[in-house]
Amino acid sequence: WSPASAVSLADVVRNALATYPAILVAQSNRSVAQFDVARARALHYPTVDLLGTRRLAGAARNLAQPRLRVNVWASGAIDATIEREGLREGALASREIETREGVAFDAAQSYLRLLRGVRTLEATQRNLERHEALVKDFEAIASIDVGRRYDLVQARTRLEQVRLQIAEREAEIASARESLALYYPTPIPVAELSLPPELPEPAPGAAQVALVGHPTVEAAQREVQFAEADTRVTRAERMPRVDVESTVGAESATQLVVSWPAFDLGRDAAERASQAALAGARARLAEQERLVEERQRSALQDYLAAQRRESVSQGQIGLVEELVDVYRAQFRIGRRNLLDLLNAFSELSNAEVTFEASRVDKSLARYRMEYALGRLATHFDRNSP
């Protein structure tokens, strides 16, 4: 292994953006919508059918002849259909971007979750080493002074508690690996895990909610526009249309065909359904705006909280390390009991675990801010690790 070959968070995210099925599904949906636009535009062009009839009874003639049909006027239904399908394609394009954002964040979160588990496990293992050394000392003491077996039992009890914590950390790591395998199937060695480069600090105006250009909001807005266009389509489909129809053969004819669905309960229901769908789309837009606003505010608060925890715990480690040294020295001369020293070990371990966790949490919160702003995936598109 070498640093050049290490798998970074950016490698994991880019692999997910290139291969994750949800993105491929979104791309496929957008491609289908593009063909739907082409199909709607084709309604303006002539169609040619081959008609065939065969007499079964009576005086009818056997015929086989082509028929050409072209629309002259459709009360705006065709243009409305083209507009609707174009808006649908735009909405699905925004959904594709939204899907990429979600996959990018989930992949980054899975990587950092694994890194967090590894870092906190390392901190807990340092605590284990301190307890093992203490137990070893007391085993030697208890072999000489039977009256100190109480201290040995107490030290062993704390040692087992630390071992239980390590087992819990290892279970968290195993779960995190399974989550990461969704986005990067190849197992990543612990030695290759590292904190990603820090993103720039949030701008002074980061607390202000930004909805303009957000892919989730844009998708909801375009879905409202699509629903509005659909109401125009269903309304126009209840209006008259004029076609020119021409047949060539034994019974050649060119005729103007006028049709008007004067009574059609199905079309009436379709128009009402489109109006109901429009109301739902507007409600979803309002909901998405609220969710995006809440997500952006929460992401900023998470980042600031993790930043404070990192700063406080870093200072606390130095103080508690000094406290452990003092308690150990006082314990040796009988001015402190074993419980005081064990509690100091616990405080030091808590500070170390909090520091390691908060470093990763701060990085994750910063990525969550980019995700909340709808620009996390584009960051990985533009930048190298």
Assigned domain for 56 exists: no
CB 77 within 8 A of CB 233: yes
* Total tally of structural domains belonging to the chain: 1
Return the closest-CA partner of residue 370 out of 102, 99, 95.
102
184 CB-near residues (< 8 Å, 6+ apart): 7, 11, 12, 15, 16, 107, 111
Helix intervals (H) in 215-264: 215-236
* Coil, helix or strand at residue 260: coil
> Looking at the domain assignment, is residue 55 inside a domain?
no
Residue 198 structural domain: 3-50+64-379
**100 located within any domain:** yes
Q: Say if residue 169 is exposed, middle or buried (CB neighbours under 10 Å; 0-12, 13-18, 19+).
A: buried
Q: Give the pLDDT confidence score for residue 205 in this predicted structure.
A: 60
pLDDT value of residue 385: 44
Mean pLDDT by 10 residues, the chain (385 residues): 68 94 95 93 88 75 82 86 92 94 96 96 94 85 72 87 95 95 93 87 62 89 93 88 82 83 86 94 94 90 92 91 88 80 91 94 93 89 56
Radius of gyration of the chain (CA): 35
Write down the pTM of the prediction: 0.83
Q: Is residue 57 a part of any domain in this protein?
A: no
Q: Which amino acid, 130? A: R
Q: What is the CATH number of the domain that holds 77?
A: 1.20.1600.10
- Secondary structure (DSSP) of 140-154: HHHHH-GGGHHHHHH
Q: How far is CA 202 from CA 91, 106, 293, 347, 364, in A?
A: 30, 21, 16, 32, 14
Residue 358 lies in a domain: yes
Q: Quick one: pLDDT at residue 383?
A: 52
Residue 59, in any domain of the structure: no
Residue 32, in any domain of the structure:
yes
Residue pair 159/127 in contact (Cβ under 8 Å)? The answer is no
Distance CA 308, CA 351 (A): 13
Look at residues 25, 43, 22 and name the one whose alpha carbon lies nearest to residue 85: 43
Domain membership of residue 58 (yes or no) is: no
| DSSP state, residue 200 | P
CB-CB contact of 73 with 242 (8 Å): yes
Q: What pLDDT, on the 0 to 100 scale, is given for residue 4?
A: 47
List Cβ neighbours of 324 (8 Å cut-off, separation of 6 or more).
341, 344, 345, 348
